[in-house]
Structures are given as C-alpha cells and as structure tokens.
C-alpha cells in the first residue's frame, strides 16, 4: 500500500494521479503542467461566463466539457473566426471556411492558472443553420467523435447558430474521379465508431409528409413516408459503396423528382457499368445490393459490415473474400486501352449532372403526402413539387453530399465517408455513423 502511495503524483491544487477525473478516466498529471481535474474544474468555473442563448445547447456543451477532456465541444465567439469565405448554400444551410484564430481550449496550466490552446489558426468549416426545425441539441448528441467538431457559434448578423467542425479540402467524388487508376482495391472500416452522420435532424411525426436529404441516398421506406431508422442508414451506405467502386454519383443522369422516387420504391437501383464488373469483387456487389434491399430487415447490420470489411482488409487471411479482391485488382491492372477510354468518357459524362439532379440537402415531399395526388402528378395535371426549379441548378453542379458533413461525415478515414462535407443523410433517428475508409485514401496521404 505504501508503495502505491509513493507512486502517486500531485498537482499544486492537491489533485492526485489516483483520483478519477471522469467516470472511466483516471486523472492525468503531466510535466507540462497539465492536470485533468484542474482543467475540468476550470471549465466548470467558466460556465457562468458564456452562453449560447439556448439553455439546452448550453447543457450539451457543458456536459461534454465535464465528461471528456479531449473531445469536448465549446462555445466559440464569432469574433474568433478570421478569413471567412463562402463555400456553398444548401437548401437550409450555408457553409463557409474560416480560420480559428485563437484555437480552442486544450488544458489549464496549473502553474500559470490560464488556458493553453490548440488548433490555433486551424482551418474550419462553419455550417450556418437557416432552418428553425434543425434540432441542434439532438445533432450534438449523436455526432461522430472520430470527426473533429469544435463546437457551436452564432452569426451576430443573422442570429443563426453555426456548427464548427474540421474542414475537408476535397470531396469523395472529385478524389475518385481524379485518382481512380492509382488506387488499390481494398477497404478497411474503423470500428471505433459506427454511425452515418446526418445533414439535418428534424422533429417529425412517425408518418411524414416530407423528409430532408439527397434523394438518391434516401431509403424507399422513408420516401413512402415512414420513419427513418438505422436500417435506413445502411441503405444510404450502399450509395457510398457504389460511388467508391464506380466514381459516379448515384442517379446522376436523372432528374431527382417524384418519378425517381417511384422508381426507387419499385426497386430501381443505380447500375454498375458492365465493363467494370470484372474489377469489383462479387462479395462487394452482393453486399452493396443487400444494403439497397427494399426490405429493411434484409439489409446487413453495422456489425456485419465491420466484420466483413475487416476480413477483406486482412492480407494474411486466405479466403473467398481476399481471393476475389486479388482477382479484381489484377483485372483492373490488365484492362485494355479501349476500356480506359470508355471509363474516361464515363467520367467526362458523369461530371455533367442532370440539371434537375441535386446532391445537397433539401426538403422532399414523400409519396405519403401524394397519396391522393399521385395520379394527377403522373398525368401532368398537377406540377411535381419535387422537381427542382431553375434557381437550384447552379448549386447542384458545384456541391454534393460528400463536401462537409461527410458525414460526410462517412469519410474514407471516415467515408464520413466524406460524406458529408458530408452533407447528405437526413432524418431524426438514432444514427449509425458507420465510418468506412478505403486503402485507396492511404495512397493519397503518402
């Protein structure tokens, strides 16, 4: 017992390294004048010095600071942002880039009794929420800890709240298009987090007349007006799998209107070009189409996805999955010049989106709302409210659901993903945040 006491370290405030700073985290005291309990107490002491103007938001931020010293969320004064530049407007959000001049609070120096900061002059994404139905509190509860969120701010001019997070310099679609021939086929999944990130969390009833998101990623049951569930996130993940292996956005050549909704509900799914089939392992295609199943109960679970992708990434294992991967890689390396030209033509075509496609979040009227008007819409007697107006065209060509968010915040160390900026998934449900990333991204980092 005496030996244990001798090993204990104390800070000037009397905190011991044997104390617990958090329920599952023992107090850490370092030579650079860091003490977890001192930092926690300093956060608590400063609760009275700031407010977001919303008691529920304050509570979530405060709880994050009390419960996690390193992944906490902070209130960030708008004046702390420099070099603010507009990136894009979505249906209900505006996204900006900025520099976080002072950084965010890291730890309290127990000698100087003052904050030390990190991420000083870091580039961040500012996502300004223009929709009063956006449930920021619920969003903060389900965000993915693997993608860095710094906290919340407010635009003093508009009084809109701002979500502050890491800025991604590129989106998944552009990366795949530019680097397709330099990539290995192989996927890993980060099992430390398993949840696809939402672009918008709405307060809605179980049966919905409208939903929010990017139509190609919304599951058929939600398009019919049903509640969004974790199985719906698995469907959305199928769209990410499709883009990873084809470098094409799903349904890029079609109008994202009620007719496409009807097709999706009738089982239509994005088509993989025939000449690509030899480059894609059969298990991968089967899994992608399982994710797209019209019956949510037939879709794989997050645990299944994690297990399968881990198996596929283990080069020491010799099984059917790894053998198919080797064959697919070999087939891709041995393609003919004509096939490469065909793919080049495909990329060129896919970069020209249909003028009435939309890969940013927007409100979509469900088939449940149209149950009495569907025939009139199909006959042309009534206009289609899901058909994009001209003002959307400039936006759809420059922004897609993978800038952001994500999500994407699925990136490819998150194929949150990059989903989203990762702005694309919709709805108020418990989110699956299934972070997938491909070995393809590793080559980019090297």
Nearest alpha carbon to residue 410 among 389, 391, 432, 440: 432
Structure tokens at 269: 């799914």
Confidence of residue 233 (pLDDT cuts 50, 70, 90): confident
Share of the chain above pLDDT 90, in %: 30
What does the block give as tokens for 283? 């298990």
Quick one: pLDDT at residue 198? 40
* More confidently predicted of 25 and 292: 292
Separation of alpha carbons 436 and 237, rounded Å = 9
* For the ranges 169-178, 212-221, 435-444, the one whose mean pLDDT is highest: 212-221
CATH 3.30.200.20 fits 22-166, yes or no: yes
CB atoms within 10 A of CB 189: 23
pLDDT over 90 at 378, yes or no? no
What CA–CA distance (Å, rounded) separates 237 from 256?
19
Q: Which residues of 65-88 are buried (b: 16+ CB within 10 A; e: fewer)?
A: bbeebeebbbbbeeebbeeeeebb
What is the three-class DSSP state of 261?
helix
Mean pLDDT of the 147-160 span:
92
High-pLDDT (> 70) share of the chain, %: 71
pLDDT for the residue 144 = 65
3-state helix, strand, coil in the chain (%, to 5): 35, 20, 40
**Above 60 in pLDDT, residue 184?**
no
The number of residues making up the chain comes to 446
- pLDDT tens figures, 391-418: 333 333 333 333 323 333 333 233 332 2
Tens digit of pLDDT for each residue in 56-101? 999 999 999 988 777 789 999 999 999 999 887 766 788 899 999 9
Is the per-residue pLDDT at 110 higher than 70? yes
pLDDT reading at 343 higher than 60:
yes
Predicted pLDDT at 362: 81
How much is the pLDDT for 289?
96
Residue 356 reports pLDDT greater than 60 = yes
Question: What angle separates helix 230-246 from helix 282-291, to the nearest 10 degrees?
Answer: 140
Q: Tokens at residue 298, please?
A: 């037939």
Selection from 385, 405, 392, 406 nearest residue 354 by Cα: 392
- Of the two residues 109 and 21, the one the predictor is more confident about is 109
Annotated domain spans of the chain: 22-166, 172-445
pLDDT score of 379: 75
Whether residue 2 is predicted with pLDDT greater than 50 in this model: the reply is no
128: pLDDT strictly greater than 80: yes
Mean model confidence pLDDT for the chain: 75
Query: Does pLDDT of 330 surpass 70?
Result: yes
CA–CA separation, 36 and 26 (whole Å): 9
Please name which of 47, 42, 43 lies closest in space to residue 113, comparing C-alpha atoms: 42
Q: Is the pLDDT of residue 290 over 50?
A: yes
Pairing of strands 425-426, 415-416: unpaired
Q: What is the pTM of this model?
A: 0.61
Q: Poorest-confidence range of 267-271, 283-287, 407-411?
A: 407-411
């Amino acid at each position: 017992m005496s030996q244990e006491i001798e090993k204990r370290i104390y800070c000037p405030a009397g905190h011991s390294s044997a104390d617990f700073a958090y329920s599952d985290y023992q107090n850490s005291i370092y030579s650079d004048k860091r003490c977890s309990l001192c930092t926690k107490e300093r956060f608590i002491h400063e609760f009275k010095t700031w407010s977001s103007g919303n008691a529920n938001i304050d509570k979530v931020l405060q709880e994050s600071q009390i419960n996690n010293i390193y992944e906490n969320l902070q209130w960030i004064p708008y004046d702390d942002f420099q070099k603010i530049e507009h990136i894009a407007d979505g249906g209900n959000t505006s996204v900006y880039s900025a520099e976080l001049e002072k950084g965010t609070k890291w730890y309290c120096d127990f000698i100087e009794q003052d904050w030390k900061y990190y991420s000083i002059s870091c580039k961040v994404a500012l996502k300004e929420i223009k929709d009063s139905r956006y449930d920021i509190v619920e969003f903060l509860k389900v965000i993915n800890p693997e993608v860095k969120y710094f906290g919340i701010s407010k635009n003093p001019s508009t009084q809109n709240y701002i979500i502050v997070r890491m800025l991604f310099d590129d989106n998944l679609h552009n990366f795949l298009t530019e680097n397709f021939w330099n990539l290995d086929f192989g996927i890993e999944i980060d099992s430390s987090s398993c949840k696809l990130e939402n672009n918008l969390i709405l307060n809605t009833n179980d049966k919905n007349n409208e939903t929010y998101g990017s139509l190609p990623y919304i599951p058929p049951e939600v398009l019919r007006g049903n509640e969004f569930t974790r199985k719906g996130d698995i469907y959305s993940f199928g769209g990410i799998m499709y883009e990873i292996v084809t470098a094409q956005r799903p349904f890029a050549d079609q109008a994202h209107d009620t007719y496409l909704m009807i097709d999706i509900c009738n089982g239509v799914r994005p088509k993989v070009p025939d000449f690509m089939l030899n480059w894609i392992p059969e298990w991968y295609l089967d899994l992608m189409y399982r994710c797209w199943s019209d019956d949510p109960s037939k879709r794989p679970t997050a645990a299944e996805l994690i297990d399968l992708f881990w198996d596929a990434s283990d080069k020491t294992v010799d099984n059917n999955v790894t053998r198919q991967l080797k064959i697919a890689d070999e087939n891709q390396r041995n393609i003919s010049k004509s096939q490469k030209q065909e793919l080049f033509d495909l990329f060129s075509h896919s970069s020209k989106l249909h003028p009435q496609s939309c890969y940013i979040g927007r409100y979509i009227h469900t088939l449940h709302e149209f149950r009495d008007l569907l025939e009139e819409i199909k006959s042309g007697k009534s206009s289609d409210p899901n058909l994009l107006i001209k003002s959307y065209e400039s936006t759809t060509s420059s922004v897609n659901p993978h800038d952001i968010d994500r999500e994407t915040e699925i990136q490819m160390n998150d194929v949150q993903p990059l989903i989203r900026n990762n702005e694309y998934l919709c709805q108020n449900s418990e989110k699956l945040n299934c972070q997938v990333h491909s070995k393809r991204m590793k080559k980019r980092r090297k």
